[in-house]
Amino acid sequence: METRIKNIFNRLEEEVDAIFLFNSTKPHLDLTFFYVTGLIEGQFEGSGVLISPNGTGEIVTTRLEEESAKKSDLPVTAVKKKEEREEWMEDNLAGFDRIGVNATELTYHAYNKISDATDAEIIDVSDAIIDARNVKDDEEIERLEKACDIASEVAEEITDFIEEGVREYEIAAELSYMMRKKGATGEAFETISSSGPNTAEPHYTCGERKIEKGDFVLLDFGALHDRYRSDITRTYVVGEATDKQRRMYQVVQEAQQAALDKIGPGIKGEEVHNTAAEVIDDTEFEGRFTHGLGHSLGLSTHDGSGLSPSVDVTLEQGMVFTVEPGIYLPDEGGVRIEDDIVVTDDGCRVLTCADKRFKVI
Ligand SMILES: [Mn+2]
């Protein structure tokens, strides 16, 4: 994990002597802890890792997690109780002038524990961490590929389950079960299983509504595997499709393809968003694409960056993003098609390979 640690230090705007990543209790865990330790198993509440500019680090954890922690290539100190961890922090943090922390993931309580242990100046290094985590290494891409394969297979197989009368939450449950059966350790995020007019709400989750003939069914879900996450959306029509539904789907698909063609090293994330938005805005659905085109993906579903006017990022080889244009017509319905991609040396490679041709089921 030496390279990952050095990646963070190389991207710092102001130098620090060390960085301490410190987890509280779930859900207040800093996923960067897992980025630098490479650990898959374990919870690691109340654990931390102290990393140095030379690429070394040390994990401090509890006896409960000791065996899991030993799977990292970093040395481990396992403490029996909180007081021992505080002593460890005093012994190990006291000698520095400047200590970096990941402020976006650190609770105020944990921050106070660090400042009690040292007189060092505490510096927020979260921007460097986001930048480092944005570019995935080969091991991370392998884990993402596996998470994407699971979601892609499920996206194709779920169509056998969808029919008139089935409820949205039943489809959500089936998606979860199918992913677990294929080896996922869980859902990457709360599944969106929407139907009919509900598909017009991009972040609807799921409800009791029964599928009706002529509905759009929009499924947005992902698999968690070895701590990495996939994120895919497919939209289907049940029974019989109208010309308008076909047209909405066609425009979204064209917008997505234009974006995929645009992606490559050196391109701004915002330009990719604009490319897709222009395709939609040149049609009768102008103004109905109401969110950013995509977000970075990795240990977290929203990994800190994105393809959006509100994010300033220049694409580099190894970055992973979702590409998810949509058209949403209030009270009628919506279409979204989402795939995960990795930026390559001359374009991008799509990681979620489920069929996305227009489908009436
Ligand atoms: Mn997404």
Rounded to the nearest angstrom, the distance between the alpha carbon of 15 and the centre of ligand 1 is 34
Name the domain boundary from 99, 117, 133: 133
Rounded to the nearest angstrom, the distance between the alpha carbon of 76 and the centre of ligand 1 is 36
- Do 86 and 111 lie in a common domain? yes
- Do 268 and 156 lie in a common domain? yes
Strand order in the sheet with 320-323: 320-323, 339-343, 348-350
* CA within 13 Å, CB half, 118: 24
Rounded to the nearest angstrom, the distance between the alpha carbon of 294 and the centre of ligand 1 is 6
DSSP state of 346: S
Rounded to the nearest angstrom, the distance between the alpha carbon of 125 and the centre of ligand 1 is 26
- Do 273 and 314 lie in a common domain? yes
- Give residue-wise pLDDT tens across range 190-236: 999 999 999 999 889 999 999 999 999 999 999 999 999 999 999 99
Alpha carbon 132 to its chain's center:
15
- Do 176 and 306 lie in a common domain? yes
- Do 126 and 188 lie in a common domain? no
Contact criterion met (CB below 8 Å) for 140 and 218: no
- Whether residue 289 is contained in a domain is answered as yes
CATH code of residue 94: 3.40.350.10
Name the domain boundary from 96, 117, 133: 133
Rounded to the nearest angstrom, the distance between the alpha carbon of 301 and the centre of ligand 1 is 7
Rounded to the nearest angstrom, the distance between the alpha carbon of 282 and the centre of ligand 1 is 24
- Measured between alpha carbons, how far is 19 from 57 in angstroms, rounded to an integer? 9
- Measured between alpha carbons, how far is 361 from 161 in angstroms, rounded to an integer? 10
- Give residue-wise pLDDT tens across range 293-316: 999 999 999 988 999 999 999 999
- Do 117 and 156 lie in a common domain? no
DSSP for 285-304 reads TTT---S-SEEB-SSSSS-S
- Whether residue 361 is contained in a domain is answered as no
- Do 22 and 99 lie in a common domain? yes
Give the number of other Cβ atoms within 10 Å of residue 283's Cβ: 15
Rounded to the nearest angstrom, the distance between the alpha carbon of 327 and the centre of ligand 1 is 15
Radius of gyration in angstroms for the set of CA atoms belonging to the chain, rounded to a whole number = 22
- Whether residue 87 is contained in a domain is answered as yes
Rounded to the nearest angstrom, the distance between the alpha carbon of 161 and the centre of ligand 1 is 23
- Whether residue 93 is contained in a domain is answered as yes
Rounded to the nearest angstrom, the distance between the alpha carbon of 225 and the centre of ligand 1 is 16
Place of tokens 């394969």: 149
- Do 171 and 205 lie in a common domain? yes
Look at the chain and report how many structural domains it folds into. Answer: 2
Which residues lie at CB < 5 A from ion ligand 1? 231, 322
Can you read off the two tokens belonging to residue 174? 């089936």
Rounded to the nearest angstrom, the distance between the alpha carbon of 300 and the centre of ligand 1 is 11
Rounded to the nearest angstrom, the distance between the alpha carbon of 310 and the centre of ligand 1 is 16
- Measured between alpha carbons, how far is 190 from 147 in angstroms, rounded to an integer? 15
Which residue type sits at 109? H
- Measured between alpha carbons, how far is 145 from 153 in angstroms, rounded to an integer? 12
- Do 200 and 246 lie in a common domain? yes
Nearest partner of 5 among 38, 39, 30, judged by Cα:
38
Can you read off the two tokens belonging to residue 330? 């209030």
- Whether residue 358 is contained in a domain is answered as no
- Do 310 and 284 lie in a common domain? yes
DSSP for 55-107 reads S-EEEEEEGGGHHHHTTSSS-EEEESSHHHHHHHHHHHHTT-SEEEE-TTT--
Q: Which range marks the domain in which residue 46 is found? A: 2-133
Rounded to the nearest angstrom, the distance between the alpha carbon of 66 and the centre of ligand 1 is 35
CATH code of residue 208: 3.90.230.10
Rounded to the nearest angstrom, the distance between the alpha carbon of 96 and the centre of ligand 1 is 40
Rounded to the nearest angstrom, the distance between the alpha carbon of 18 and the centre of ligand 1 is 34
- Whether residue 240 is contained in a domain is answered as yes
Rounded to the nearest angstrom, the distance between the alpha carbon of 14 and the centre of ligand 1 is 33
- Whether residue 202 is contained in a domain is answered as yes
- Whole-model pTM: value is 0.94
Rounded to the nearest angstrom, the distance between the alpha carbon of 338 and the centre of ligand 1 is 7
Q: Kindly give the confidence (pLDDT) of every residue in the chain, 361 residues in length, as a single tens digit, with 9 standing for 90 and above.
A: 899 999 999 999 999 999 999 999 999 999 999 999 999 999 999 999 999 999 999 999 999 999 999 999 999 999 999 899 999 999 999 889 999 999 999 999 999 999 999 999 999 999 999 999 999 999 999 999 999 999 999 999 999 999 999 999 999 999 999 999 999 999 999 999 999 999 999 889 999 999 999 999 999 999 999 999 999 999 999 999 999 999 999 999 999 999 999 999 999 999 999 999 999 999 999 999 999 999 999 999 998 899 999 999 999 999 999 999 999 999 999 999 999 999 999 999 999 999 999 999 9
Place of tokens 């509905």: 215
Cα dist from 212 to 162, 237, 336, whole Å? 10, 10, 19
Can you read off the two tokens belonging to residue 200? 């017009």
Rounded to the nearest angstrom, the distance between the alpha carbon of 231 and the centre of ligand 1 is 5
Name the domain boundary from 133, 152, 181: 133
Rounded to the nearest 5 degrees, what angle is found at the Cα of 167, between the Cα atoms of 238 and 337? 50
- Do 234 and 266 lie in a common domain? yes
